[in-house]
Structure 1
Amino acid sequence: MQQEALSFLSSPLPPHHHFPPFSRLRNFPSLSFKPSTSPSPSSSSIFFPPPKSPPPTITTTGTLESDLHEKLLYLDTLGIDFLTLLNRHPPLLSSPISSLKSVVDYMTTPPINFTLPDLRRLVSMCPELLTSPLASHTIPVITFLLREVGVSSTFDLRQALRRRPRLLACSVDHQLRPTLYFLQRIGILEPRKHTYLLSCSVEGKLLPRIDYFEGLGFSRRSAAAMFKRFPQLFNYSIGGNYEPKVEYLVGEMGRDVREVLEFPQYFSFSLENRIKPRHVACVGRGVRLPLAVLLKTKEDGFRDALEVHFVLNDSEELKRMKKPVVSAYILREKGR
């Protein structure tokens, strides 16, 4: 295993990834939000001071093998496979063992206090955590979530990071803060409930989804209001979710696409396992239910709603029949 680790020395490291600058947003309707102009917290005012670590030492060729061996053994004690992780994130090779230990100590001791299973999951999903500078990157991300996003406790912080470990790989200035301002600008004023969106690119992911609904004929204000009502909508794929469900809604169900403005949760239901079967059941009984009733209710409630609307539809039909026809209809039903 030690020889396998050393084999990575001869492989060139990929260039460091740079986050693209956040370009100017397109115009949105004024929603009375003004981003905070307070400066970013300085290193002297960081909420969680970094643990003191010994100054980095210069690794010579003679001690490199020993350093790799120590790193391998250390991560192994944490239940982390060094070679697998190194294959996914080569910068781990040149990261000092002291830096790794500082990050692990910070994440697994109070006040953050992640368990080892939690840490292993974070590292497996975001290996950059182990090599990101603690004082200049990781701690500013934590401070940003607590102070600017409004995450109210370390418990909620742990929940947010468990749900979206990639937050720890994002730049506060070039990614997290611009996305926060965008979400607030369209009316999502409690971003602490939707921290999973902060790692999303505004121009790469969020704006294209609003643009899609504008392309359906919605105004920018209406489309933004739909995402404000149901922010999870940002997480769904345009080609894999929006398009087939809109096509089915309009083509097969014969509904107006504007129904999703009032019920954007429509896109959260499975097309094959919920939307199609329930639509077919309604067609079979000649019933048309509101989208929310059609999809949100549990199976028993849906069947009850289907029966009630079926009976009501029959009653309306009977009222339109002539009296002799009504009498014949009643006699026929009694004879069954």
Structure 2
Amino acid sequence: MATHLIIGAGNIGTPLAAKLVARGDSVRVATRRGTQLPGTGAIALDAKDAAAVTEAARGADTIVVCSNPPYPEWAARWPPIFAALEEAATATGARIVLMGNLYGYGAGSGVMGVDTPLATTEKKGMIRVAGWNRLLDAERRGDLRVAEVRASDYFGLGAGANAHIGGNFFGPLLKGRTAWCVGDPTQPHAWAYLPDVVDTLIAAADADQTGRAWMAPHSTSISRREIVAQVNSITGRNGTARSYPGVVFGAMALAMPFIREVKAMSYQFTAPFLVDSAESERALGITATPWAEALSATLDSYGRQV
């Protein structure tokens, strides 16, 4: 039986803990408030506190990092979190598995795989790349072992209202209304089903290979307009997807720091944003949930009425 320390109990940490508990693993969940999840041990700590993270990780096989500070706080919070992780893993021998994203690749990266250069010039992507490189350097010195799971935007039960195809997207569609979108809703985009992201994290935690990234499988790479058409066909509704007008979105970004950070990454929705996960799927023995199945389950989670 493996022992895991999961940092964060949000959209990914919560289902990850449930799946690890279900297979019989020992799970500790660390959050700032000491969130108690079924079958787990709850720990209250600040992930920037190296001593606290080290103590929580003693006896753990893996530290799975699922925390996601608010975008405007990344510059202040991520660097000390990475420093704390380095200290904790070095002291305890626990392997680090990071839940990552595609921000590090940047605009114009083409079809992204784990070997695509991390060439972003966007602030949040650069913060994550710097943290990843810090931990990789520590692995190369023999101090610790680390891997990262990367995924594009995710969807499904628990994805949250603000996910690009979350509650604020599917909710209006199920009422036959307009879902307002960042960027161009006609562009192809890779979408990862949340349970598949969780499965990839578990496979990465079980794998012997570290010092590398893994790419989660993605159920589809269709546009949001195509998703709308499929939802309408399933439900008999007549929903639509439209882009936020540029002036409106610009004003929102000026007024709201979170939207300002979303706007900085809107390049992901102005051109095809695609992923190649074939190598990771072969190496980890994972596969994407078929899109039709994932979409149906997602609509059920939002209480569709057909």
TM-score w.r.t. length of structure 1: 0.20
Which has the larger strand fraction? Answer: 2
* Higher Rg: 1
Higher relative contact order (CA 8 A, sep 6+): 2
TM-score w.r.t. length of structure 2: 0.21
Which has the larger helix fraction? Answer: 1
